[in-house]
Amino acid sequence: MIRAILFDLDGVLVDTDTLHYQAWKELADRLGIPFTQEQGNRCRGISRMDSLEIVLEGSDRIYSQEEKEAFAQAKNTRYQQLLSALTPGHASPGAHVLLPELRRRGYRLALASGSKNAGLILERTGLGRWLDAVADGNLITRSKPDPQVFLTAAELLGVPPRQCAAVDDALAGVQAGRAAEMVTVAFGDAALHQAGDYNIQSLEEMLPLFPPLEAGR
């Protein structure tokens, strides 16, 4: 029986993928490197440094680790500037209805995101008040498809992984949920690939999947 639901952030609860792409594209332009939307899509659901390697694919230069860390920091600084304009209205459609309703139905809710900016995003959008725990990039050392972030979120909630559902829009995220032995709910792009145990295109579609829990269970 599912008792807890663990959500990815970018592309699920908040659509910040366009902001990630903008920040990476500005970095690539400064370096004179071509960077396409297809490459931007490949950056979804993976770590910042792994994303940087995708950005640098079009370069004929070999960069030092110090240079790469500086690039990643510059991108994150720009991304945080873009995040400062977020409001509750930037939450994904249905998020401000879904989360409190799931709480009312008795489910424990947590964030399971590799983002190190999750706290800022949750604060700006007002979504944090509905979450019982937050597992983000500041608590983990391995990015999806490794299951660490989902397992960390389950541990914070005190709920066994097999009693959790993992919601993610990236194939790497769905793979991570499956590796954690959780029920997987693929959203958006991952759902188009039929990657999850359940595949949805809107957050409202989750409500029939998770009926109210019986009291005391």
Q: What is the set of active-site residues?
A: 8, 10
Residue 120 and residue 86: Cα distance in Å, rounded? 9
Give the whole-angstrom CA distance, residue 44 versus residue 173: 9
Q: What share of the chain is helix, strand, coil (3-state, %, to 5)?
A: 50, 15, 35
Distance between terminal CA atoms of the chain? 9
CA distance 126 to 160: 28
